[in-house]
Amino acid sequence: KAGVTQTPRYLIKTRGQQVTLSCSPISGHRSVSWYQQTPGQGLQFLFEYFSETQRNKGNFPGRFSGRQFSNSRSEMNVSTLELGDSALYLCASSSSGTSGRTDTQYFGPGTRLTVL
């Protein structure tokens, strides 16, 4: 099976712009989670989508949003970029039943976002 893929791998944006990142999960996985990794804050959970619905959300401002499509692919969007948004954004997929219990998460290579 192919792993989790993320596009693009690298992005450079300027303050005030917006950006959209894409994640394709492992085939058959219906849960997609997003994380932000920075040297100062480490790995922080952004949100999780399952069957096109946001099921869990971390403590990030409303500038960070996401969505999931019927084929389980997911996108996250950051509007009005700030310098502090520079980070590695990681996507993870897992198989997850309707009970809400999520199995092991498998990560993609990440998208490196630099905000100038």
**Least CB distance to another protein at residue 107 (A):** 4
Interface pick for another protein out of 21, 24, 35, 66 (rule CB under 8 A): 35
Q: Nearest Cα to 106, choosing from 2, 35, 3?
A: 3
**Least CB distance to another protein at residue 71 (A):** 18
Decide: is 58 part of the binding site for another protein (CB under 8 A). Answer: yes
The whole-angstrom separation of Cα 79 and Cα 88 is 16
Decide: is 96 part of the binding site for another protein (CB under 8 A). Answer: yes
Maximum CA extent, the chain: 43
The whole-angstrom separation of Cα 37 and Cα 41 is 7
Interface pick for another protein out of 19, 26, 92, 113 (rule CB under 8 A): 92
Q: How many C-beta neighbours within 10 Å does residue 84 have? A: 10
Decide: is 106 part of the binding site for another protein (CB under 8 A). Answer: yes
Decide: is 50 part of the binding site for another protein (CB under 8 A). Answer: yes
Instruction: Establish how many alpha carbons lie within 13 A of residue 23's alpha carbon, considering only the half-sphere containing its beta carbon.
Output: 32
User: Interacting stretch for another protein, rule CB under 8 A, among 18-26, 60-68, 74-82, 89-97?
Assistant: 89-97
